[in-house]
C-alpha cells in the first residue's frame, strides 16, 4: 500500500470545461435579470442491454469541481476576446462561485433508471454552468464502477487489477477508471499516478519487451527476479507458455539460494484457461504449488465467468481495455435536467425524453435478509417506507465531511451484497421494481396543464 500525497485526487478542472451554450444561456439569464433558484437533477433515462443495475460514482470529483469553480483572469480575458459576451455579464462571471446545495446518493450506491443520483439547488447561472462537467464526471465513473461491479460479482475471491490506462480515453479516464473500479471492489491498479494521487494500491509485473530485450527468456527472468525480489511475477508467454513455465521451475531453486521466492506467473495470450491448467500442472510438479497464476488479455466479466466456471486455476486477473472503455456499453443514456425554477416545477416534454418534474427522493425497501426488494421515486417530503437514498452533501457551497475511498468501497460492497440474487448473477433482463409515486404523476399532470408553450 502506497501513501497517497493527495488522497482526494483533485481533478476538478477549469470552469471552461463547459459547452459554449451554457455561457450563451448564462448571458441570456443575466440580460433578462433571471437570478432565481433552479433545481437540476442527474439521472439515467434507461438501461442498455448488458446492464441490470448501475453503481453511482464520481461524486467526490463533482464536489471538488463545485468547490473550486471560478474563472481565472486568463480565462476571462480570453472570453472577452471572443467578442461574444458583454461587459456586464463578464463582470458577473468574474465573481461567480458555487453557493448552492447538493444532495446525492453516496458513491457506491446501486441505482436504476429515473432515480436521481445528484440534485443541485442553486441560482440558475451556477446550476446551469456546471451541467457539462458534472455530467462528464458522474457519467464516466458511474459507467466504469457499474462495469467493474459486474466483474467483482463473478470473481469475488480473485485478485482483480485495473490494467486499462493505455487504452482508456485519455489520462483522466485512466485515473478515474482506476478509482471507479477500486471503489466497486477491484484490488488495485497498474496506473502509477492513481497510486500517488488517489491512494489506490498498485500492482505490476513485466512486459514482453523486457523478455525480448534479453538474449534469452531465462536471463530476463533472472534479471527481473533480482531487481524485484519481493514481487517476482514472471510473464511466461512471450515465446511458448508451457516452455516458459518449465523455465520458471528450473530457475526457482537457484533463486531460493539467493533468498528469492517466485510469487507467480502471468499469461497474456492464447486460450487462457487451457494454458492455466497446463501451467498449474507444471508448477505443481516442480514444487511451486505456492506460485499463483495471473491472467490478462482482453478480459471482461463474461470471459471471467466462463473461465471460472470451467475450473481454470487462475488466482487473479488484469483487466484493461474492456473495463476502462466499458466496451460493450461505452456510454449511459444520462441527463442533468431542470426540474424546478423560481419555486415552480418544470418539465421537458420532448419526444422520448420527457422528465419527471420537481425535487425528488428515492426510497429503498429491503427484505428480512437485507436484500433489496423495491424502490419508490417520489417528491421530497412525500415520505415512503424504506431508506431515503439521497442525502445532503453540500450546503451553501460548503461540503459536508468527505467520505474516504475506503468508506466508499465498503458501502459499495454492502450494496452489492444486498442485490437481488438474479442481479448478482448478471441475469438480464431482470426488472427490479422502481415505482414512480402517485405524487410525481400528479405533479407532472399539473405542470403539463400549466405550460403556456
Stretch of 34-42, 100-108, 361-369, 377-385 lying at the interface with its own copies (CB under 8 A): 34-42
By CB under 8 A, what part of segment 285-314 binds its own copies? Answer: none
Contacts of 264 (CB under 8 A, 6+ apart): 232, 233, 234, 291, 292, 293, 294, 315, 316
Among 136, 142, 181, 378, binds its own copies (CB under 8 A): 136
β-pair type (159-162, 188-189): parallel
Among 35, 97, 192, 400, binds its own copies (CB under 8 A): 192
Bond from prior residue into 429 cis (ω within 30 degrees of 0): yes
By CB under 8 A, what part of segment 60-99 binds its own copies? Answer: 74-75, 78, 81-82, 84
Applying CB under 8 A, the site for its own copies has a residue count of 116
Stretch of 90-98, 324-332, 382-390, 428-436 lying at the interface with its own copies (CB under 8 A): 324-332
Q: Which is nearer to its own copies, 40 or 53 (CB)?
A: 40
By CB under 8 A, what part of segment 353-372 binds its own copies? Answer: 353
Helix (H) or strand (E) holding 388: strand 387-388
Quote the distance between the C-alpha of residue 435 and its chain's center: 26
359 with 127: CB under 8 angstroms?
A: no
Q: What are phi and psi of 346, to 5 degrees?
A: -130, 155
In 278-302, which positions are buried (b, 16+ CB within 10 angstroms) versus exposed (e)?
A: ebbebbeebebeebbbbbbbebbbe
Query: Whole-number minimum distance, CB 425 to its own copies, in Å?
Result: 26
Contacts of 37 (CB under 8 A, 6+ apart): 100, 121, 122, 123, 124, 341, 342, 343
Helix (H) or strand (E) holding 335: strand 333-341
Q: Which is nearer to its own copies, 151 or 206 (CB)?
A: 206
Q: Which is nearer to its own copies, 137 or 153 (CB)?
A: 137
Q: Which DSSP string corresponds to 194-205?
A: HHHHH-PPB---
Mark 37-56 with x for binding to its own copies (rule: CB under 8 A) and - for no binding.
-x-x----------------
Q: Which DSSP string corresponds to 116-174?
A: -SEEEEEEHHHHHHTHHHHHHHHHHHHHHHHHHHHHHHHSTTSEEEE--GGGSSSHHHH
Among 348, 433, 438, 441, binds its own copies (CB under 8 A): 348
Q: Which of 336, 321, 312 is nearest to 129 (CA)?
A: 336
By CB under 8 A, what part of segment 204-263 binds its own copies? Answer: 204-210, 212-217, 223-224, 226-228, 231, 237-241, 243
Q: Which is nearer to its own copies, 189 or 384 (CB)?
A: 189
281 interacts with its own copies by CB under 8 A: no
Alpha-carbon distance of 165 to 172, in angstroms, equals 9
Among 147, 150, 346, 409, binds its own copies (CB under 8 A): 346
Q: Which is nearer to its own copies, 289 or 350 (CB)?
A: 350
Q: Which is nearer to its own copies, 322 or 364 (CB)?
A: 322
- Please give the grid coordinates belonging to residue 135: 455530467
Residue 132 burial (C-beta neighbours within 10 Å; 0-12, 13-18, 19+): middle
Alpha-carbon distance of 331 to 311, in angstroms, equals 33
Stretch of 18-26, 250-258, 307-315, 376-384 lying at the interface with its own copies (CB under 8 A): 18-26
133 interacts with its own copies by CB under 8 A: yes
Q: Which is nearer to its own copies, 5 or 445 (CB)?
A: 5
For the chain, the straight-line distance linking the first and the last C-alpha, in angstroms and rounded, comes to 59
Instruction: Tell me the residue length of the chain.
Output: 453
Stretch of 95-103, 127-135, 303-311, 390-398 lying at the interface with its own copies (CB under 8 A): 127-135
Among 7, 28, 287, 311, binds its own copies (CB under 8 A): 28
Mark 373-412 with x for binding to its own copies (rule: CB under 8 A) and - for no binding.
----------------------------------------
β-pair type (54-55, 110-111): antiparallel
Query: Whole-number minimum distance, CB 185 to its own copies, in Å?
Result: 20
1 with 7: CB under 8 angstroms?
A: no
Among 35, 46, 91, 166, binds its own copies (CB under 8 A): 166
Stretch of 96-104, 109-117, 131-139, 425-433 lying at the interface with its own copies (CB under 8 A): 131-139
Among 67, 101, 172, 284, binds its own copies (CB under 8 A): 172
Among 245, 338, 416, 437, binds its own copies (CB under 8 A): 338
Amino acid at each position: 500500500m502506497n501513501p497517497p500525497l493527495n488522497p482526494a485526487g483533485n481533478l476538478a478542472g477549469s470552469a471552461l470545461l463547459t459547452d459554449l451554450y451554457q455561457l450563451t444561456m448564462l448571458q441570456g439569464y443575466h440580460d433578462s435579470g433571471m437570478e432565481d433558484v433552479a433545481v437540476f437533477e442527474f439521472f439515467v433515462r434507461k438501461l442498455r442491454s448488458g446492464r441490470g443495475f448501475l453503481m453511482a460514482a464520481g461524486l467526490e470529483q463533482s464536489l471538488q469541481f463545485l468547490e473550486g469553480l471560478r474563472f481565472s483572469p486568463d480565462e476571462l480575458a480570453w472570453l472577452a476576446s471572443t467578442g461574444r459576451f458583454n461587459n456586464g455579464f463578464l463582470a458577473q462571471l468574474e465573481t461567480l462561485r458555487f453557493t448552492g446545495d447538493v444532495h446525492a446518493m453516496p458513491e457506491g450506491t446501486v441505482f436504476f433508471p429515473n432515480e436521481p443520483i445528484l440534485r443541485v439547488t442553486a441560482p440558475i447561472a451556477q446550476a446551469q454552468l456546471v451541467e457539462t462537467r458534472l455530467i462528464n464526471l458522474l457519467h464516466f465513473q458511474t459507467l466504469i464502477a457499474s462495469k467493474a461491479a459486474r466483474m467483482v460479482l463473478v470473481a469475488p475471491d480473485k485478485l482483480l487489477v485495473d490494467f486499462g490506462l493505455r487504452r482508456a480515453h485519455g489520462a483522466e479516464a485512466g485515473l478515474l477508471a482506476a478509482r471507479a473500479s477500486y471503489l466497486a471492489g477491484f484490488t488495485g491498479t497498474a496506473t502509477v499516478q492513481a497510486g500517488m494521487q488517489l491512494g489506490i494500491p498498485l500492482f505490476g509485473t513485466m512486459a514482453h519487451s523486457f523478455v525480448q530485450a534479453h538474449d534469452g527468456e531465462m536471463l530476463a527472468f533472472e534479471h527481473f527476479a533480482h531487481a524485484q525480489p519481493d514481487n517476482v511475477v514472471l510473464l511466461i508467454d512471450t515465446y511458448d507458455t508451457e516452455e516458459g513455465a518449465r523455465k520458471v521451475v528450473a530457475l526457482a531453486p537457484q533463486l531460493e539460494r539467493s533468498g528469492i521466492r517466485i510469487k507467480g506467473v502471468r499469461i497474456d495470450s492464447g486460450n487462457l484457461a487451457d494454458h492455466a491448467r497446463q501451467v498449474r500442472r507444471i508448477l505443481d510438479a516442480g514444487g511451486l504449488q505456492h506460485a499463483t497464476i495471473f491472467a490478462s488479455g482482453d478480459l471482461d466479466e463474461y470471459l471471467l465467468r466462463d473461465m471460472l466456471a470451467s475450473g481454470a486455476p487462475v488466482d487473479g486477473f488484469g483487466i484493461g481495455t474492456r473495463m476502462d472503455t466499458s466496451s460493450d456499453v461505452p456510454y449511459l443514456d444520462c441527463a442533468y435536467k431542470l426540474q424546478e425554477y423560481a419555486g415552480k416545477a418544470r418539465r421537458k416534454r420532448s419526444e422520448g425524453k420527457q422528465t419527471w418534474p420537481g425535487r425528488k427522493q428515492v426510497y429503498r425497501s429491503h427484505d428480512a435478509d437485507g436484500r433489496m426488494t423495491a424502490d419508490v421515486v417520489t417528491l421530497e417530503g412525500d415520505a415512503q417506507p424504506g431508506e431515503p437514498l439521497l442525502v445532503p452533501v453540500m450546503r451553501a457551497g460548503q461540503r459536508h465531511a468527505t467520505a474516504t475511498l475506503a468508506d466508499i468501497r465498503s458501502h459499495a460492497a454492502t450494496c452489492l451484497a444486498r442485490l437481488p440474487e438474479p442481479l448478482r448473477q448478471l441475469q438480464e433482463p431482470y426488472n427490479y421494481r422502481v415505482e414512480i409515486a402517485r405524487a410525481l404523476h400528479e405533479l407532472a399532470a399539473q405542470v403539463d396543464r400549466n405550460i403556456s408553450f
